[in-house]
Structure 1
Amino acid sequence: MAERGASALSLPDDWPAHPDPILALNRMGSFDWDLDTGLFHMDAQALEIFDFRPEEYDGRAASLALRIPQDESRRIDALVSRSIKEGSENYSAYFRIRRRDGTLRWTHTHGYIRRDDIGRPNRIVGIVRDATEELQQVADGEARAAHDDARRRQINVVQVTTAALAHARTVQDVIDVLKDTQGISHLGATSLVMGLVEAGRIRLIAEGPEGSFVPGTRVTRIDEPYPMSEVVRTLSPRFIESAQEFAAGYPVLWPHLTGLDITAAAYLPLIVQARPIGAMGLLYSDRNGFTDEERGILVALGSSIAQSLQRAMFYEQEKDIAEGLQQAMLPRTIPSVPGADVAVRYRAAAIGGAKGRDIGGDWYDLIPLPGDRVGAVIGDVQGHDTHAAAVMGQLRIVLRAYAAEGHPPATVMARASVFLHELDTDRFATCLYAEVDLVTGVVQVVRAGHIDPLLRAPDGGCRRMPVEGGLPLGLSAEFGSLDYPVGTLELDPGHTLLLCTDGLVEQPGVDLDDGMRTLAALVTDGPQDVRELADVLIDEADERGGDDDVALLVLRRRGLDAPQSGGRLQQQVAPGDPEALAEARHLIRAAVRAWGAADRADEVELVADELITNALMHTEGAAIVTLRVLGGADRRLRVEVEDSSSALPRRREAGVAGVSGRGLMLVDLLADGWGVEARGGGKCVWCEFDVPVRRP
């Protein structure tokens, strides 16, 4: 057999495979051939068949040439290569080996070809056995070919069933495969019974034909006088060849089966790594006895079923753990937000294959903030495993903490990126954070590699809202690019903001922009109620399927029922950033209009601009502007501009041709009151405007 690969490549975690004890009992050896490294592991029985002592064999496929004649080796290599090329899942052949004393012995091999996630063959696991006695009566090549053909037909049922079992994910899938592939009927069986070993008992999971359930056998002890209990205790199959043998061997069970016309039965232990995980019984109504060939086929079938059951049990256990972890990491409840209707949804991906865990790093969050504000978060940690979910949980908590501390949105995102980078994980995360002022309707959006939000108007029209973004969390800290631009949206009463992860948008072979347009069309045609809309979108994702999780947050602004005291807006303006200054002006004007003081919007914006400009020109560092409504008998709007300098502002004479010195005169003229307060090592310059509530 030709050597394949290089030994420097890594081996699979479960290499080499461990043989089933039943194989050894049937004088069968096992092998595990890693195609990437060329290593060819054989157990003790296989070494004996090839007449190798353990110290003589170096574990490489090429070394088998010492025992396999050259013409036989070429034939086997051609068979294996053809099976791999044609996409076969297994192969079977007889060939001769030359023992150390020069005698030739016939050997039979059966190998199962395993492939990785992209379909590349990387491993062959199989069995070998001495077939000399079996073929002694086969005199010539034609007879051997006929024998091979007959054997291939007999094991076809095992091959077809094994191939179907490879796609079974749950225990019920395994049972369904055995029934749907007609493997039972092709073996001549009338019905199937199956049980799993749990805490010293056998729990029945497949009951055979309808109406055949035996009372008291739903859960049985391993020491009870039933055939499934016996094969679990002995780890050996039990073949019952007549009704009389059944009645004599199991007098407690037989009276319940007399109406089924059972004439024979085969009970097989389901063993994985020398440990029984269950038992299976095949009941026949038209058979008397089993040939050695039939027994071997049933034993091989039981081994395949046992492996599939173990995978299914591991999958279900991991799924339970994953779902519990996912639920623990996501918010248990979403807080009620005055002035808004909110709906959130999460859909786990259904990833095929043994590695699927139905869990990922998608998350949502809603963070109540002071001053009738709320933070809406949507994010996605790279990966679909428990590690991604754990990282997601930590990231969600720190984002909530940074937002609750009062940091501006850009700072929240930058600090979260640094936190993720310092976790020393290889994962990054995309995220979108939107801070919504439910009084003014102003939404400040920061995007870290995430898809844009959608905005739906009261008339149903929906459009994508492009927001300039930064690098994903973790990557921005790694590359020293922590600047996150802040986009500004206006959410009028009746408008709906929709945040989602890319699992709701991306489809194989579909451009992201096309996916966003499709989503916008669904939102346009969807119901007005946010909960009903969220259900529609998740149902669409379920129907479409896909291998990515979906997190969704929908927020509709109702608007507060009456003018509120305590409305608050805060923005940081960095020096040398004209866009930040323009954005601050925009936010101030929008807030003033939303608070019912549109007739003073020009005055407030002009005074605030003057105070911000003074802070940037005459101090070092950024200016923080805060706008809020003061309640009481006479409602007032207060503008505060903080800086890091303790020097107090003073009036200056501008002169006839002067271009500066008129700032405080302007503030004094337009505002209804102003002053200066010490704030730590700096100061706060404030001014107030009367904005009485309009009476109808």
Structure 2
Amino acid sequence: MALPKRPARSRYDPRVGPLVEPVRPAEPEIGPGERLALNGIGSFDWDLDRGVFELDEQGLEVFDLRPDEFDARLESLVLRVSPEEGARLDYALRRALQAGLRSYGGYFRVTRRDGVKQWTHTQGTILRDERGNAYRIVGIVRDATDELTQAPEVPARDTGGDSRSIAPVVRLTTEALSNAVSVEDVTAVVTGAGGLERFGADGLLLGLVEGGNLRIAGISGSPVAGLDGTAPRRLDGTLPLGEAVMTQQSRFAASFPELTERFPAARAYLTATDMASAAFLPLIAQGRSIGGLGLFYRTGCDFTREQRELYGALAAIVAQSLQRAMLFDREREVATELQESMLPRDIPRFAGVGIAVRYHAASSGREVGGDWYDVVALPQNRVGLVVGDVQGHDTHAAAVMGQLRIALRAYAAEGHPPSTVLARASRFLAELDTERFATCAYAELDLATGTVRAARAGHLGPLVRHTDGRTGWPHVRGGLPLGLATAVDMHEFPETRLDLVPGETLVFCTDGLVEERGLDITIGMEALAEAVRDGPREAEELAGDLAGDLWERWGSQDDVALLVLRRDPDPGTHRAPRMHSYVHQADPEGLADARVALRQTLAGWKLAELADDVELAAGELLVNVLLHTEGGAVLTLEVLPEPVRRIRLTVQDRSSVWPRRRSPGEAATSGRGLLMIDALASRWGVEPRGDGKAVWCEFGPAAGRRSGVSRR
């Protein structure tokens, strides 16, 4: 509803007399959303659990996206945001999540569809649940180009009217370098995407001092032909950038002819370029030259006093960031070498399995951590698998880790079961002069049978990839972390028994691979399960993929230890193929998946006519194991070519109770399983296997069909 017009009002100005106010037309009410849109501010709503990133209409306008170009996925913004800019924003968000902050923000550049670079600002509020886990981010995005570029320009003197604004360059460079922690990061900021725009230059090169040489670490644009980073150049003053570094004095060249007269050795480079002026800035930190920065322009410039002062400030900012990054890299290298020196140098190899290990130090910190892995050769053709994590990220954590790893290795080599190994390791840790505790997962694998005995001490259990590609986290019982268990006198570390059939894979890792502060660990566990399911079959290749891809996604803020073991497949021979599968008692889909696998396998062997009988018999035997025993079942299907080609199905369990054939009455609801097997199979029988038994049955044309029970 329009407001009534306000009549003109008279007022008196003593200088000119009576005045009449103009009548302003009535305007409609402007809502909050419209007020934001009028100021170029859009909003977003990011559901972290579902991965849905919603932008309103003005938000799409900020990114120069049409509605049909955006599908509510953050990855779709790659149309406008470069990977480098996205990485900076991701780093800022990670820091906010890990620090428990309520909000985060930052500036970045958007490339509009016409190629124009637009500075953009985002600010988001992080919503967390009662446990402090972030689940949603609500925020705004806006065009910040005017804010960052409409700065007071430096007055031009004797430049013929040139008024190059340097102040925004200093501000934007400081913003970009604030997140650079390594020399590689600093180099990427200076010479990477957006570097030329930030510095307002047409060409740029960054050199680093190494010994008595200057190595070109990065080039952007085409500043000088023939210069690259393939070989260091001696600091002898024959090149303008080298002289600036040696003398710690900036050199400004309004034209290149004067440079060629002063530096004859640079004539070949300078005459081949289309640049007209340049600034050569030494990078000085604590009175020492650590590098040099060259800025090149296609137009001539006299470089006023104010401009030179601001160039000096710019070089000081880059030098400080570079010195901090060099210190970080050195400390990180020492810390990583210390941590890796405490890990086993060589992993033993065993027939019948492939084993691969990986360790990654945290990318965001210079301190060492306490993550470790170990593989221990045990008597009686067994192998011990260890992954653990000592509390803390410092040299003390690494020292405790080294002692604990050796102690646990010794307990395992003595032949103790997993529960005893962890109990003794807990007492050992409690007796050390430390208040640290440690989490650990230990498993013992029988290489001949595939039997796994696993126990946990406050750690993640193993992830299993089955022969058909399915993945799952079996329920492995556990106790308290090592050290803490002793402090409260709770040394119970119950064991869980699994069966690893040929072709299956075990994956152990520390929580750094699946956990990120502020996010639910189940998100990372699901991502790991998906990566293992879709990853390579071989242990070494799978470990490489996981350590590379998932570490970048989840674990880059924490140390990561990874151990992958795969039993070699047992396909049999061309004439007598074989398949194996394990059905875990806690896997509700395992039975159905096993039936599908049997049918597909028989079809591949061109024995599909037996599929109904084999599937029905397998279902009866598997259900019997899952209902009446305390463990899972190992299913084996194989072809017996002699004397007549037939199928043998074997279901093995760890129960010592043999099946009994009964004669159930008409009203009985059970007891007909063996009668059904007897009716379907040519032969069937029971035989002892290790600490359990195996029920087998054969299908196909054979003499002596339904010959009854055979006990061997």
Shorter-chain TM band: 0.5 to 0.7
Name the count of aligned residue pairs: 439
CA RMSD in angstroms, aligned pairs only: 4.6
Shift of 1:536: 5.2
Task: Indicate whether 1:320 and 2:330 are aligned.
Answer: no
Q: State whether residues 157 and 183 of structure 1, in contact with CA within 8 Å, keep that contact through their aligned partners in structure 2.
A: no
Distance 1:265 1:598 in 2: 79
Q: For 2:181, give the aligned amino acid.
A: R
| Structure 1 segment 39-50 matched on structure 2, within 5 A | none
Aligned to 2:41: none
Distance 1:491 1:385 in 2: 37
Distance 1:472 1:271 in 2: 49
Aligned to 2:558: 548
Distance 1:157 1:388 in 2: 43
Distance 2:544 2:229 in 1: 44
Distance 2:399 2:655 in 1: 50
| Structure 1 segment 158-177 matched on structure 2, within 5 A | 158-177=170-189
Q: State whether residues 260 and 285 of structure 1, in contact with CA within 8 Å, keep that contact through their aligned partners in structure 2.
A: no
Aligned to 2:615: none
Q: State whether residues 373 and 435 of structure 1, in contact with CA within 8 Å, keep that contact through their aligned partners in structure 2.
A: yes
Aligned to 2:169: 157
TM-score for both structures, normalised by structure 1: 0.54
Partner SS, residue 416 of structure 2: coil
| Structure 1 segment 420-459 matched on structure 2, within 5 A | 420-459=429-468
Q: For 2:280, give the aligned amino acid.
A: Y
Q: For 1:309, give the aligned amino acid.
A: L
TM-score for both structures, normalised by structure 2: 0.52
Aligned to 1:48: none
Partner SS, residue 249 of structure 2: coil
Partner SS, residue 272 of structure 2: helix
Task: Indicate whether 1:273 and 2:286 are aligned.
Answer: yes
> Deviations 1:60-108 (Å, cap 9, x if unpaired)?
xxxxxxxxxxxxxxxxxxxxxxxxx99899xxxxxxxxxxxxxxxxxxx
Shift of 1:523: 4.5
Judged with a 3 Å threshold, the aligned counterparts in structure 2 of structure 1 residues 149 and 369 are, in CA distance, closer, same or farther, namely same
Q: State whether residues 215 and 229 of structure 2, in contact with CA within 8 Å, keep that contact through their aligned partners in structure 1.
A: no
Q: For 2:494, give the aligned amino acid.
A: P
Q: State whether residues 453 and 466 of structure 1, in contact with CA within 8 Å, keep that contact through their aligned partners in structure 2.
A: no
Shift of 1:433: 0.8
Task: Indicate whether 1:343 and 2:355 are aligned.
Answer: yes
> Deviations 1:659-693 (Å, cap 9, x if unpaired)?
xxxxxxxxxxxxxxxxxxxxxxxxxxxxxxxxxxx
Distance 2:460 2:383 in 1: 20
Aligned to 2:211: 199
Partner SS, residue 461 of structure 2: coil
Shift of 1:540: 4.9
Q: State whether residues 246 and 264 of structure 1, in contact with CA within 8 Å, keep that contact through their aligned partners in structure 2.
A: no
Identical positions, percent: 47
Distance 2:690 2:231 in 1: 75
Aligned to 1:303: 316
Q: For 2:169, give the aligned amino acid.
A: V
Judged with a 3 Å threshold, the aligned counterparts in structure 2 of structure 1 residues 307 and 478 are, in CA distance, closer, same or farther, namely farther
Judged with a 3 Å threshold, the aligned counterparts in structure 2 of structure 1 residues 496 and 214 are, in CA distance, closer, same or farther, namely closer
Partner SS, residue 203 of structure 1: strand
Structure 1 alignment gaps of length 5 or more = 1-84, 90-117, 119-146, 562-585, 591-595, 604-636, 640-693
Instruction: Select the residue among 366, 374, 389 that pairs with 1:365.
Output: 374
Q: State whether residues 349 and 549 of structure 1, in contact with CA within 8 Å, keep that contact through their aligned partners in structure 2.
A: yes
Q: State whether residues 464 and 516 of structure 1, in contact with CA within 8 Å, keep that contact through their aligned partners in structure 2.
A: no
| Structure 1 segment 119-158 matched on structure 2, within 5 A | 149-150=152-153, 154-158=166-170
Q: State whether residues 372 and 387 of structure 2, in contact with CA within 8 Å, keep that contact through their aligned partners in structure 1.
A: yes
Distance 1:522 1:86 in 2: 30
Q: State whether residues 345 and 538 of structure 1, in contact with CA within 8 Å, keep that contact through their aligned partners in structure 2.
A: no
Q: State whether residues 455 and 464 of structure 1, in contact with CA within 8 Å, keep that contact through their aligned partners in structure 2.
A: yes
Q: State whether residues 237 and 267 of structure 1, in contact with CA within 8 Å, keep that contact through their aligned partners in structure 2.
A: yes
Aligned to 1:670: none
Shift of 1:394: 3.3
Structure 2 alignment gaps of length 5 or more = 1-102, 108-125, 127-149, 156-164, 572-628, 634-650, 659-688, 692-709
| Structure 1 segment 353-432 matched on structure 2, within 5 A | 355=365, 360-384=369-393, 387-432=396-441
Distance 2:333 2:242 in 1: 28
Shift of 1:168: 2.4
Judged with a 3 Å threshold, the aligned counterparts in structure 2 of structure 1 residues 437 and 227 are, in CA distance, closer, same or farther, namely same
> Deviations 1:88-147 (Å, cap 9, x if unpaired)?
99xxxxxxxxxxxxxxxxxxxxxxxxxxxx9xxxxxxxxxxxxxxxxxxxxxxxxxxxx9
Partner SS, residue 300 of structure 2: coil
Q: State whether residues 391 and 436 of structure 2, in contact with CA within 8 Å, keep that contact through their aligned partners in structure 1.
A: yes
Judged with a 3 Å threshold, the aligned counterparts in structure 2 of structure 1 residues 254 and 189 are, in CA distance, closer, same or farther, namely farther
Shift of 1:442: 3.7
Partner SS, residue 186 of structure 2: helix
Q: For 1:157, give the aligned amino acid.
A: V
Judged with a 3 Å threshold, the aligned counterparts in structure 2 of structure 1 residues 228 and 426 are, in CA distance, closer, same or farther, namely farther
Shift of 1:312: 2.5
> Deviations 1:326-385 (Å, cap 9, x if unpaired)?
4433333322223x4133232526634xx356x643322211111111111111233445
Q: For 1:239, give the aligned amino acid.
A: F
